[in-house]
Every structure is written in structure tokens, then in C-alpha cells.
Structure 1
């Protein structure tokens, strides 16, 4: 059993109730708890690990509901901060006919005015006995949350906590790509494990193969590059390989990448081969697509292992 700290955003995904419709033409939305770090925090608990979430929500109904959701999922929320005026973030998510998602806007509120941008407290005690720190890159887009992200990196280094970064590139959170890429590269240089989507690797480094990405990531022990419903290519402690994506009846891809990351974190401390670790993670991601939403759709360790035996 590993102890995993997840730092970053927790929010409501406003999921379009109609597939294949632009956000302007969506008639109704269903609010579902989300945010990549929060999704991972919940997923690893279902797999049998301990998780701690560090993030900031508004002192509003949405923030209260999200904190309750994390607690009900078994996540330690001692690291949650409540901002007195900034609202909890909600983001519009549209889906294609096939269920692939696209992130839209934030309504009438500027992206830098939400509570998650104001994360300013990183409790030291959460790092003392932790095994992994999971970071995204959205928090780097805002000065206050960026400073907290770097404080977490400092604490993880001090307490010998392995750092995993999931790029989770979302251009709507940034003012420009030119500003984003150097900041992301600076964080990746500190990571022990990095998970890219193929297009993220090509955007940031102009490469897609994990072994080619090694030269940019001197500290990395593992690099994983996913390509949606195609394959995952990986480099882990010198082992390279590919894992084809599992074919399932997909309803909604929201949270699939987060479940994949959770599967990696759950398996990395077990001493298994790269092939076994990535196969488990790929199954976790695939199973998450069979229901709507990111958290409620996440599979348990038992469900993943049963799926792999089929």
C-alpha cells in the first residue's frame, strides 16, 4: 500500500448531456466532480492505496460538495484550503459522437479568478511518510498556485518522495503556449516519472518516443506516452515496450487518463515489469470510459484484475 499526495485542481466538470453538439448549442449540463489530481486521488484509493489531496476550493456550495465527495471516496483532505471569495471552478465539457471529450470555457468568470489558482498552503506533515507526489501542470499557469507547486517539489525532494507529473495540457487555462512550455519543462526536469499524451510530448519536446524523451528528462526513471485508444509506449528503468489500448464500449473518456496514471502509481512500488505495470494501468483507463464522469466510473483493483483475466 502506497501513500500518494495529489496536488492541484478539484472542480466540477459540466458534462454536456448531448453528444456531438458544440457548447453554444448544449441544452443542458450535468455537473460531475473532477479535476485531474482529484480524480487520481480517488482512483488510487479504489485500487487499495492511501491518498492525500492538496488544493483550494471556494467557501461555497460547490467547494463543500467537492470536499465531501473526496472524503466519501476515502481521500484525506487535510490539505484542502477554502478561499473566502474566489469561487470553485466549473468547466464545460462537450463530447463527440464517439464520447471523446473537449474542454470549453468557464462561463462568465476569468480563468485566473477561481479558487484553485489561490492555493497557498502546502502542509509539510503530509510529506513525511508519503511515497509519491502527483502533480499536473495547470497549477503552473497562476502565480500563487505555481509557488505552491514548487514548494511541494521542494518538500518531496527533502523527504525522498517520488514525483510523478501528468502533463494534462489544457490550453484554456493558459494565456499562451509560449509562456506555458518553459514552465512545464522546468517542472518536468524534477520528475521521477512523467506521463505524456502523444500530442503533449510532440508539443513540448518535438518527440513522441519515450526513449527519445529521456535526453530531456535527466531525473526520470519512467516515461509513459499514451495515444488515446491506440497504444501506450513506455520506458521504465531501461525497459521499453508498447501496450495496445483495450477495446471496450466507450460512453465517456473523461478521467480515463487519470485512471491510467492512478494505475501506474498503484503498481510502480510493486517491483513488477514495465509491461505488467502498463497493462494494469491501461485496463484501469479503459474501464473508466464505460460510464459517464471521472470519479464514479473508476474501477476497483478487483474489477481491473478480473478484466485482465478475461
Structure 2
């Protein structure tokens, strides 16, 4: 059982109830708990690990609901802050007819005025005994949460906690997307493990092969590059390989990448050495999450993942 700290946004995805239409033609939205780090934290608990959430929500009804949801899922919310004035973030999520999702806007509130942008000093005690720190890059978009991210990096390194970064590129979160890449590159220099979507690797380094990305990431022990529902290429402890995505009937792909990241962390924390075994488990977790709407409620348990892998031709 690993202990994983997940730092970053906790929010509501406003999932369009209609598929294949633009936001102005959506008749109704369903609010679903989300935020990539929060999704990973919940997925890890279902896999049998322990997770600690560091983030900031508003002192409002939405923030209270999110805190309650994380606690109900078994996530340690000691590090979850409640900002007295900034609101909890809500983001519109449009769906294509084949179940893929498109992130929209935030309504009338500027992106830097939500509570997750106001994350302040994180408690040192949360890093004691932890195995991994999971970071996205959206917190780098705002001064307060960026400072907290770098504080967490220093605490993790002081405690011997391995750092995984999932890029999770969302330009709508940045007030100035042009400044994002240098900030992301600086963070990646500190990462032990990095997960890219293919287009993110192309955007940041103009490379998509994990072996080539090693040149830019000298500390990295593992690099994973996913390509939607197609394939994951990886480099892990000097060995490279690839894993095809599992074919399932997708209802909603929201949170699939987060479940994949949780699967990687679970397998790494369990001491698995085989890249094939690690990535196959993660790919199964991601695929199973697409079979119903939402990110957290759709996540599979460890038993469900193992059963799926057995039906698909072995663990």
C-alpha cells in the first residue's frame, strides 16, 4: 500500500447532457466532482492505496460538497484548504458524439479568481512517510498555487518522495498561455516520472518518443507518452516498449487519463518492474473509466481491473 500526495485543482466538471453540440446549444449540465489530481487521489484509494489531497476550494456549497466527496471516497483531506472569498472552480465540459471531451470556459469568472489558484503554504507533515507526489501543471499558472507547488517539490525531495508530473495541458486555465511552456519545463526537470499526452510532448519538446525525451529529462526514471485511445509508448529504467489501448465502448472519456496515471502510481508503488505489466494495468484502469459518465464514480477497483485483464488475456 503506497501513500501518494496529490496536489492541484479540485473542481466540478459541468458535463454537457447533450453530445456533439457547442456550449450555447447545451440545454442542461450535470455537475460532477473532478480536477485531475483529485481524480487520481480517488482512483488510488479504489486500487488499495492511500492518498492525501492538497488543494483549495471555496468556502461555498460547491467546496463543501467536494470536500465531502473526497472524504467519502477515503481520501485524506487534511491538506484541503477553504478560501474565504474565492469561489470553487467549475468548468464546462462538452462531449463529442464518440464520447471524447472538450474543455470549455468558466462562465463569467476570470480563470485566476478561483479558489484553486489561491492555494497557500502546504503542511510539511503530509510528506512524512509518503511514497509519491503527483503534480499537474495547471497550478503553475497562478502565483500562489505555483509557489505552493515548488514548496511541495522541495518538501518531497527532502523526504525522499518520488515526484510524478502529469502535464494535463489546458490552455484555458492560463491567463497567458505563452508563459506556460518555460514554467512547465522547469518543473519537469525535477520529475522522477512524467506522463505526456502525445500532443503535449510535441508542444513542449517537439519530440514524442520517450527515449528522445530522456535527453531533456535527466532525472527521469520513467516517461510515458499516451495517444488517446490508441497506444502508450514508454521508457522505464532504461527499457522501452509500448502498450495498445483496450477497446471498450466509451460513454465519457473524462478522467480516463487520470485513472491511467493512478494505475502507473499503483504499480510503481507495488514494486512492479516490468514496463509491460505496469502500463497494461494503467491502460485497463483508463479504459474502464470511460464506460460511464464522470471521472470519480466511473473509476474501477483493483479487483475489477484484474478481472478485466484476465478476460483480456492475462494479468
TM-score surpassing 0.5?
yes
Encode CA deviations 1:174-200: one digit per residue, 9 max, x unaligned: 133320000000000000000000000
Encode CA deviations 1:70-94: one digit per residue, 9 max, x unaligned: 0000000000111000000000000
Encode CA deviations 1:89-146: one digit per residue, 9 max, x unaligned: 0000000000100000001100000000000020100001000000000000000000
Q: Does 1:205 align with 2:196?
A: no
Distance 2:253 2:171 in 1: 19
Over aligned residue pairs, what C-alpha RMSD do you find?
0.5
TM-score by length of structure 1 reads: 0.99
Distance 1:271 1:37 in 2: 23
2:79 corresponding residue in structure 1:
79
Q: Secondary structure at the match of 1:232?
A: strand
Q: Secondary structure at the match of 1:108?
A: coil
Distance 2:56 2:280 in 1: 33
Aligned residues: 310
Structure 2 residues not aligned, in runs of 5+:
none
Distance 2:31 2:66 in 1: 11
Q: Secondary structure at the match of 2:31?
A: strand
2:281 corresponding residue in structure 1:
280
1:304 corresponding residue in structure 2:
305
TM-score by length of structure 2 reads: 0.98
Distance 1:148 1:69 in 2: 23
Stretches of 4+ aligned residues off by more than 4 angstroms: none
Distance 1:193 1:83 in 2: 31
8 Å Cα contact 1:81/1:121 also seen in 2: no
Structure 1 residues not aligned, in runs of 5+:
none
